[in-house]
């Protein structure tokens, strides 16, 4: 019985890690939120993130003073809020990214976009997520590496396998190891 509970809880830990990885929640502006106060650099905020399809973008703000509009690139560039693709006004808006490419958002309150309240959520069209390591790739990493040119292309492809994914796999391996280790002890 204790073993069963242990197995279930371990499975939930693995599942939790998996879900956390495949649908991260990003709060725009972090603790500052969606605002014109404090000159939050939303360009920098998004530039240092690696967004993926399935991620959730969260806008938190006082709906009396701000809103969220998804717009085209041209409207984003010129802060034109006259014909948004989508509008959000709850002050606690969560938007799940379902497609690759750029997703442009701005605040439609006059002057706010011009003050920098706009953000570009970019999911790279060709991303490292496309070449996620498969078990076979991890077991035999050297088979498809060309020996004559180890410099540029090999390092490029290794860098493409995001360390994030490797950490995840290592974590899952560790959890499974603990699971089997405990099973042996209790059995
Ligand atoms: C704003 O965008 C809308 C929709 O694309 C367009 O019809 C309108 O002419 C634009 N206004 C300005 C001032 O650029
Ligand atoms: C926003 O909504 C989520 C649930 O959709 C809730 O858990 C969270 O507390 C809300 N945050 C604020 C600031 O209202
Ligand atoms: C053999 C091979 O794939 N060569 C490629 C190495 O990477 C450069 C660009 O980084 C490509 O131009 C080569 O075709
Ligand atoms: Cu605003």
pLDDT, block means (10 residues), the chain with 187 residues: 53 52 89 96 96 97 98 98 98 97 98 98 76 51 48 51 50 52 51
**Is residue 35 domain-shared with residue 89, that is, in the same domain?**
yes
Give the pLDDT score at 10: 58
Please state, as a whole number, how many other Cβ atoms lie within 10 Å of the Cβ of residue 17: 15
Domain boundary residue, one of 77, 100, 125: 125
Per the CB < 8 A criterion, the answer to whether 102 and 73 are in contact is: yes
On whether both 135 and 115 belong to a single domain, the answer is no
Mutation pick for ligand 3 pocket among 152, 154, 159 (CB with most ligand atoms within 8 Å): 152
Secondary structure letter of residue 57 according to DSSP = E
What whole-number distance in Å separates Cα of residue 84 and Cα of residue 107? 10
Distance 19 CA to ligand 3 centre (A): 34
Do 67 and 91 lie in one domain? The reply is yes
pLDDT for position 149: 47
**Number of folded domains in the chain?**
2
Tokens of 116: 């920098």
Distance 131 CA to ligand 1 centre (A): 39
Distance 91 CA to ligand 1 centre (A): 26
Residue 63 located in a structural domain: yes
Rg (CA), the chain: 22
Instruction: Report the nearest-CA residue for atom 7 of ligand 2.
Output: 92
The CATH number linked to 98 is: 2.60.40.420
Most informative mutation of 80, 81, 84, 104 for ligand 1 (most atoms within 8 A of CB)? 80
Q: What is the pLDDT of residue 65?
A: 97
Using CB atoms within 10 Å of the CB of residue 24, give its burial: 0 to 12 exposed, 13 to 18 middle, 19+ buried: middle
The contacts found for 34-42 with CB under 8 angstroms, 24 or more apart, are 34/59, 34/60, 34/61, 34/66, 34/68, 34/107, 34/117, 35/61, 35/66, 35/117, 36/66, 36/107, 36/112, 36/115, 36/116, 36/117, 39/116, 40/116, 41/116, 42/116, 42/117, 42/118, 42/119
Q: Is the shortest distance between the CB of 152 and ligand 3 below 6 Å?
A: yes
Q: Which domain holds residue 134?
A: 129-186
Nearest C-alpha to atom 4 of ligand 1 is from which residue?
83
Atom of ligand 2 nearest to the CA of 94: 5
Residues 35 and 103 in one domain: yes
pLDDT in the model for residue 185: 44
Would 86 be classed as within a structural domain? yes
Q: Is 151 in the pocket of ligand 3 (CB under 6 A)?
A: no
* pLDDT on residue 176: 47
The residue among 95, 125, 155 that closes a domain is 125
From the CA of 146, give the closest atom in ligand 3.
1
- 99 and 154 fall within a common domain: no
d(CA 165, CA 155): 17
């Amino acid at each position: 019985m204790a073993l069963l509970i242990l197995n279930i809880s371990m499975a939930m830990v693995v599942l939790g890690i998996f879900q956390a990885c495949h649908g991260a929640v990003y709060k725009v502006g972090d603790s500052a939120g969606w605002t014109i106060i404090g000159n939050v650099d939303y360009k920098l905020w998004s530039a240092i993130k690696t967004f993926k399809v399935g991620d959730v973008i969260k806008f938190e703000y006082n709906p009396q003073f701000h809103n969220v509009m998804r717009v085209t690139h041209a409207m984003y560039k010129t802060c034109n809020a006259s014909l948004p693709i989508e509008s959000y006004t709850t002050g606690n808006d969560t938007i799940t990214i379902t497609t690759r490419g750029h997703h442009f958002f701005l605040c439609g309150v006059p002057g706010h976009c011009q003050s920098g309240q706009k953000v570009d959520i970019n999911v790279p069209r060709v991303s490292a997520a496309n070449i996620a390591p498969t078990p076979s790739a991890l077991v035999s990493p050297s088979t498809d590496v060309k020996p004559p040119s180890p410099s540029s292309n090999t390092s490029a492809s290794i860098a493409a396998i995001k360390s994030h994914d490797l950490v995840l796999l290592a974590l899952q391996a560790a959890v499974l190891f603990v699971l089997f280790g405990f099973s042996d002890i209790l059995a």
